[in-house]
Structure 1
Amino acid sequence: MSESQPKSSASPWVILAVTSGAFAALNGVFAKLTTDQHTTSFAQSIAHIFGKDSSPFIEMLVRVACLGLNVLCNIIMWALFTRALTAGPSTTKVSITNTASNFLATAVLGMVVFQEAVGGLWWVGAGMMGAGCILVGMREGA
């Protein structure tokens, strides 16, 4: 790296891996919304705006939109992950970073979107994953 180029605080592969993990979590949210009761409730809320109690057509449109967003997030996730693998120093680092990001984003989205409880074992797993990320980073020269 020449002196004229500023040093970046985060490597591009880290941003790609974290973003890929976040899109994987979104992919899961939209997959669940494609078949979940929350989608029925949301569609009924939209139907109420139009003065109806419910509408199978609106519910179908909402589910199709969720499926489309599921597929789109999946495509983006794989594109980012593949690019992170080619830009990263090792596939192990990229995979662990991606998985940790997915793990955390999935839990947060589950709590926010689906009101899911995150129990003690989840926190143990999160701590172990964080420790694993640090150990791999130290082992491979961060």
Structure 2
Amino acid sequence: MNLAHLPYFAIISGLFGTAASVFGKLIQIKDIQFDSNQTDLFWRCSFKAVYISLMVLCNMFVWTFFVKSLHQPGGSIVATVTSTATSYCFSAIIGSWIFHETISSVWWLGFIFVITGLLFVSLDIND
């Protein structure tokens, strides 16, 4: 595979998709301890507003870079598979690292299938 033809924009799109999902999950976390007074309610709402804004901003970047990736060699198939695989894989890794989610052996098997499929789809027949 020629490194000049790697789907960089699709990978960036997938990474922003991962970031958007992290911010979406942070909106729902209730582990941050606040008192019930008005100042703490203000901070809780402020954190949620920031997380929502960051999630929307990341989703805007997802689509910006995904559309750019559609114009790269390989077209829509490579862009879709690469962006999806990147987002899927990094979401699981970040989920395990930040949110302490467990990753089962079935997930690892699926991860291997996704990466293998990504490699098969991304291979250039002319190389």
Q: TM-score, normalised by structure 2?
A: 0.86
Q: Which residue of 1 aligns with 2:14?
A: 21
Structure 1 segment 69-84 matched on structure 2, within 5 A:
69-84=54-69
Kept in 2: contact 1:84–1:94 (CA 8 A) = yes
Query: Post-superposition shift, 1:89?
Result: 2.0
Residue 15 of structure 1 aligns to which amino acid in structure 2?
Answer: Y
TM superposition shift of 1:110: 0.5
| Contact in 1 for aligned 2:13/2:66 (Cα 8 Å) | yes
3-state SS of 1:87 partner? coil
The alpha carbon displacement at 1:138 in A equals 3.4
Using the TM superposition, give the Cα deviation of residue 87 of structure 1 relative to its aligned residue in structure 2, in angstroms. 2.0
User: In 1, distance between residues paired with 2:99 and 2:42?
Assistant: 23
Cα distance in 1 for partners of 2:22, 2:73 equals 27
Measure the CA separation in 1 of the matches of 2:51 and 2:125. 40
Query: Identity of paired residues, percent?
Result: 24
Residue identity opposite 2:3 in structure 1:
S
2:27: which partner in 1?
Answer: 34
Equivalent position SS for 2:102: coil
Contact 2:74 2:122 in 1 (8 A): no
Q: Pick the structure with greater CA Rg.
A: 1
Change (3 A) 1:126 1:141: farther
Query: After superposition, where does 1:1-142 map in structure 2 within 5 Å?
Result: 9-11=3-5, 14-38=7-31, 41=32, 44=34, 55-138=40-123, 140-141=125-126
Q: Any stretches of 5+ residues in structure 2 without a counterpart? A: none
Q: What is the CA distance between 1:62 and its match in structure 2? A: 0.5
Cα separation, partners in 2 of 1:81 and 1:62, compared to 1, 3 Å: same
TM-aligned CA deviation for residue 75 of structure 1: 0.2
Residues 2-57 of structure 1: CA deviation (Å, up to 9, x unaligned): xxxxxx8343x61111010010011111111112224xx1x64xx8xxxx9x8111
Gaps of 5+ in 1: 1-7
TM-score, normalised by the number of residues in structure 1: 0.77
CA distance in structure 2 between the aligned counterparts of 1:104 and 1:124, rounded to whole angstroms = 12
